[in-house]
Chains A and B, each alone.
Chain A
Amino acid sequence: MIAGIRIGPGVRFITMALLALALCLGVVLGSGALSASASAPAPTPTPTSDFTNTLTIGGVLRDDDNVVEGAEVTVEGAGGFSEVATSDDTGRWSVVVPEKGEYTVTIDPETLPDGVELRDPDRVSATVAANEWQTNSITRSFPLGVDDRQTTGFFEQFLQRLAAGLNFGLLIALAAIGITLIFGTTGLNNFAHGEMVTFGAIIAWIVAVLLGVNIFVAMLVALVLGGAFGYVQDWLLWKPLRKKGVKLVQAMIVSIGLAIALRYLYLFFIDGSTKTMNVGLSEAIVIGPVRITTGSVVSMVISVVALVAVGLFLTRTRVGKATRAVSDNPSLAAASGIDVDRIIRTVWVLAGALAALAGVMLGLYRQVSWDMGFQVLLLMFAAVTLGGLGSAYGALVGSIVVGLFVELSTLIIPADLKYAAALVVLILVLLVRPQGILGRKERIG
């Protein structure tokens, strides 16, 4: 039995839920505090550490969720080697060292911003041993921050996280709906979907930052090119594979190969550093006690509009209805005169465009990096699985749940475990309801 996109009864809800959500946003904006820099990415050490050729010692300085800029770290080694690194606006610092030897890394507490302190004041230095150099980069971190979190009350914290969670959840939903549509119509778990997200972010970065074009134009360019990317993928890869009769697990591993190839291709062209989307959307709007960046507002509005548009597309247009028919039963749909290949092609274009759009916003919301899509891929899968594989409405609900959970969990657990918490919830939900929150049980036999 094929898991179909079960929009049927949920159809009205998509539109209604999104409208309600938009209202909610308004309420939150009006009453509570929205955080501008909702959160910095969790420390995902770059997987290249084993494979790059220059030797570096580096790290990220972060005070809870806020990056620490301008702090000085000194690296000293044999032969009088000594170099000072200053953390940049992402909190990163790194020093290129000449050989795989022993080094001492010392942070200067004086250079830390006001209100930021070392968690352990005695730990100002760390050492790097010669036998650690099996990889080409070594990380040293200095835990920061004592109790600066108590400046805001729990309720304000909660509202902040709630808003950030909604924003993040909507971003995930944009990309996850593509995953679920592809799964519904072709049965493929597309592991290269994260790279479609990265694609959009990189395009927007090139257009808006490198070429200096208006960000909304850049967004449109990313949307169009993202759709084209989906089209080309289906045309050159997935359709021939379907014709060849490649099995689902096989196709899934092909998508893994594609994801690896694309990811390193991005790395090849834009290198491993993170890029800031400095496009004038980062200034804060202050409404009474509320602070929010224009970027966050823009991102949420665009997400909601796009999601409503997708909902209307699936329920109101002929192509959209045909898409759902193909998800329910491809052979029946084919028998009743629907061109299944054309529908699947449409789904790929739609998925590519939505993923790219999500990428642009993720870039605004955080930063642009070569593996940003891969970092959220699992959260997208978690969202889709939570909602019940193949259900578009479920993907939306699952995404919001994941987004809220990721952000709200930081009220209780350390911020660097927030992704882990969302994934644990996924596993626990599957333990109780293997078909997902909204999925239906399947008949056996």
Chain B
Amino acid sequence: MSNLDKNPVQSPAAAVTHPLVKGTVEPGCAKVDPIVIADHVTRQFGGLKAVDVDHLEIPRGQITALIGPNGAGKTTMFNLLTGFDKPNTGTWEFDGKSLAGVPAFKVARSGMVRTFQLTKSLGRLSVLQNMLLGATGQRGEGLFSSLVKPLWRRQEEENTVRADELLARFKLDAKREDYAASLSGGQRKLLEMARALMSKPELIMLDEPMAGVNPALTQSLLGHIKNLKADGTSVLFVEHDMHMVMHISDWVIVMAEGRVVAEGPPETVMKDPAVIDAYLGAHHDTDLGDLMDDGPNPVEVALEAERKAHDAHSEEK
């Protein structure tokens, strides 16, 4: 903690500007066109402050990575923003609408859809049924209208067409009629992402989309996420995978011990001493300069190590 406090002032990124940013690049900086703005969000578990974010803005139409060491509060932040957990204090808005205290399902309806770290594919529904569940505004989901098929048949057909398109795009079309329980871990991740896209979200929030996905699938997964941006969807993801963070993100936000300690474009933020501190914590006694000049970037090393540990952990589950 003490390391974090003394650093930001001397941060090399401090005086830098960036086209996405209004003013200078610093932790909690204002964006030119933000899609999410959060203020004073805190969440305590017992004595532990899991999240303590003063100000945070997520740029619209960009791919933003949320990184940080284990226990940094990334998933908790996800849960808070999407209404799956309630903060002790704080307000936030999405697309200009305040979402503080709004239940999770309404958050999703407003166009901010998330996935989960541990996949939540609905095992005893077919892949297609999983997809159709993602569509919004279905008339057949009303208790009384569901009884009269003509009321919802057309909409169901349209949704099925869209679901088939997405399944083809994510190469799951061959599994269309299978139970989701029969898919591999990576396929479930894809299904979950495709299902989230059924609602045509403004912002899609992916919680560790790469965890447990085999390397053959990662490349196509990266492609899918880039395509999302091309389609105009904003993306926010939590990830340990360096490829993903370095190669596809436009903006990186770093959290440690519940707070935003740095942000910036990927190539600069990795060199931010605050970030290195965050990952190596108070245990490192190496000179920072040495680390910067020689060998691989310590943050990348730490991220990589964490990803491996994490994958091993997920496989166990």
Q: How far is the CA of A331 from the CA of B85 in the complex (A)?
A: 27
Contact of A445 among B45, B117, B316 (CB under 8 A): B117
Contact of A444 among B46, B79, B316 (CB under 8 A): B79
Is B116 interfacial (CB-CB < 8 Å)?
yes
- Contact check, B46 vs A445: say whether CB atoms are below 8 A apart: no
Interface 1/0 per residue, A420-445 and B, CB below 8 Å: 00000000000000000000110111
Size of B's binding interface in residues, CB under 8 A: 12
Q: How far is the CA of A82 from the CA of B117 in the complex (A)?
A: 75
Is B75 interfacial (CB-CB < 8 Å)?
yes
- Chain A minimum-CB-distance residue to B75: A445
List the A side residues contacting B116 at CB < 8 Å: 445
List the A side residues contacting B75 at CB < 8 Å: 445
- Interface majority SS (helix, strand, loop, mixed), chain A: loop
List the B side residues contacting A445 at CB < 8 Å: 75-76, 78-79, 84-85, 116-117, 207
- Chain A minimum-CB-distance residue to B45: A443
List the A side residues contacting B207 at CB < 8 Å: 445
Give B297 Cβ to nearest chain A Cβ, in Å.
29
List the A side residues contacting B85 at CB < 8 Å: 443-445
**Using a CB-CB cutoff of 8 Å, which residues 319-344 of chain A contact chain B?**
331
- Chain A minimum-CB-distance residue to B207: A445
Give A435 Cβ to nearest chain B Cβ, in Å.
12
- Contact check, A444 vs B84: say whether CB atoms are below 8 A apart: yes
Q: How far is the CA of A443 from the CA of B45 in the complex (A)?
A: 8
Q: Contacts A445-B85, A445-B116; is A440 near B46 (CB within 8 Å)?
A: yes
Q: How far is the CA of A441 from the CA of B79 in the complex (A)?
A: 15
Give A328 Cβ to nearest chain B Cβ, in Å.
15
Select the residue from A331, A441, A443 with max chain B CB neighbours within 10 A.
A443
Q: How far is the CA of A441 from the CA of B43 in the complex (A)?
A: 13
Q: How far is the CA of A444 from the CA of B80 in the complex (A)?
A: 10
List the A side residues contacting B84 at CB < 8 Å: 444-445
- Chain B minimum-CB-distance residue to A443: B45
Q: How far is the CA of A331 from the CA of B317 in the complex (A)?
A: 11
List the A side residues contacting B117 at CB < 8 Å: 445
Interface 1/0 per residue, B228-252 and A, CB below 8 Å: 0000000000000000000000000
Give B124 Cβ to nearest chain A Cβ, in Å.
13
Q: How far is the CA of A443 from the CA of B46 in the complex (A)?
A: 11
**Using a CB-CB cutoff of 8 Å, which residues 177-227 of chain A contact chain B?**
none
List the B side residues contacting A443 at CB < 8 Å: 45, 76, 85
Give B79 Cβ to nearest chain A Cβ, in Å.
5
Give A334 Cβ to nearest chain B Cβ, in Å.
12
- Chain B minimum-CB-distance residue to A442: B45
Q: What are 6 A-B pairs at a CB distance below 8 A?
A: A440-B46, A441-B45, A443-B76, A444-B84, A444-B85, A445-B78
**Chain A contact residues, CB within 8 Å of chain B:** 331, 440-441, 443-445
7 nearest CB pairs, A to B: A445-B79, A445-B75, A444-B85, A444-B84, A444-B79, A443-B45, A445-B84
Beyond known contacts A444-B79, A445-B75, A445-B117: 10 more, CB 8 A cutoff: A440-B46, A441-B45, A443-B45, A443-B76, A444-B85, A445-B76, A445-B78, A445-B79, A445-B84, A445-B85
